[in-house]
Amino acid sequence: MNKDATIIVTGAAGFIASCLVSYLNENKFTNLILVDQFDEEEKELNLLHKQYLVRVERDNFFEWLEEEKPVIDFVFHLGARTDTTEFDYEVHYQLNVLFTQQIWHYCSTHKVPIVYASSAATYGDGSLGYEDDHALVPRLKPLNPYGLSKNNVDSWILEQAAKPPFWAGLKFFNVYGPNEYHKARMASVVFHAYNQVKDHDLVKLFRSHKEGCRDGEQLRDFIYVKDVIKVCYWMMEHFSTVPSGLYNLGTGKSRTFIDLVKSAYKAIDKPAVIQFMDMPQDLRETYQYFTEARMQKLWNAGYREPFYSLEEGVYDYVKHYLIPRRYY
């Protein structure tokens, strides 16, 4: 991709997208059109010192495109309502479904390649496995409205006759890393673990409410945000040779929450102290006890970069971002 390329990034003030903006800047891409609701003061710090052409308010985005008629080379659609505890589907539908469909139509009409954020939440309880196989999508049963909205988008896209020249829906697994200070309850377990150690000298984890799974041994595929943005960037650089489709984006190796907390303690150089607490009732029926990305599809597409191990990623995040409260 030419360094003069004009690139749209939605959700630009958020966690993953703001990290991607930094990575694009590092790689000399500055002709960026940032799209978001720029109304949260704390999220403003995610964009401090970053280079871009213009910010566009999300609600005015399509009107702006119609008026300005920019020539766009690539779209990263990472904006979404990601709150898994929001059970009003209509809230997710407006942003995660309708807005994505509008962007899809724009990219199809104007022949613009697109990478968009799907989610491992589409896999529900995992009983059907974690293969990023298109044939599996109609059978998936997400556990919450967020996952349902993402799966509905994936299903809709697979049915479309009109498509962009390249498209990829990345099924993000458990992403952690810098620039999530604003996410409050929805921030990663690493973020919460660090702050609990700092404030209380211990970490509280949810008890298991599933027979056969011991407390703290719930398994998740944790992936560092720096790996996520490298894959996004690689997709842009190689879109002419990468097959379009849905792709898992995890490490391919599940780890326990105890492993994660011990990694955080090691980065702080303290002995681990863990207490267990009951999971809130509103989460128990929709909780995933095991996730693990099947990554063969991405490897087959040509991606070869190694991912951070959990220990490496947590150490980098805690040591270089959380302790000095730095942004990426």
N-terminal to C-terminal alpha carbon distance within the chain:
23
Distance of alpha carbon 118 from alpha carbon 48, whole angstroms: 27
Helix (H, G, I), strand (E, B) or coil at 220: strand
pTM of the entire structure?
A: 0.95
Q: Which of 229, 326, 223, 246 is nearest to 29 (CA)?
A: 229
- Cα 70 to its chain centre, rounded Å, is 27
Q: Which of 117, 151, 97 is nearest to 19 (CA)?
A: 117
Query: CA geometry: angle at 91 spanning 178 and 13, to 5°?
Result: 25
**Both tokens assigned to 313:** 């990623």
Q: Which of 251, 249, 248, 264 is nearest to 219 (CA)?
A: 251
> What's the Rg (C-alpha) of the chain?
19
Annotated active-site residue 327? The verdict is no
- 221-to-181, 293, 307, 309 alpha-carbon distances in Å: 21, 7, 12, 11
* 146-185 per-position pLDDT tens digit: 999 999 999 999 999 999 999 999 999 999 999 999 998 8
Query: Active-site residue among 50, 183, 253, 297?
Result: 183
> What CATH number was assigned to the domain covering residues 7-176+222-252+292-307?
3.40.50.720
Tens digit of each residue's pLDDT, the chain (328 residues): 899 999 999 999 999 999 999 999 999 999 999 999 998 888 999 999 999 999 999 999 999 999 999 999 999 999 887 666 666 777 788 888 999 999 999 999 999 999 999 999 999 999 999 999 999 999 999 988 999 999 999 999 999 999 999 999 999 999 999 999 999 888 999 999 999 999 999 999 999 998 889 999 999 999 999 999 999 999 999 999 999 999 999 999 999 999 999 999 999 999 999 999 999 887 787 788 899 999 999 999 999 999 999 999 999 999 999 999 999 9
Q: Tell me the residue type at 319.
A: K
Residue 87 per-residue DSSP state:
-
Residue 276 · residue 217 · CB < 8 Å? no
β partners of residue 36: 57
Annotated active-site residue 183? The verdict is yes
Query: Active-site residue among 146, 194, 233, 328?
Result: 146
* 277-292 per-position pLDDT tens digit: 999 887 787 788 899 9
279: left (phi > 0), else alpha (psi -120 to 50), else beta?
Answer: beta
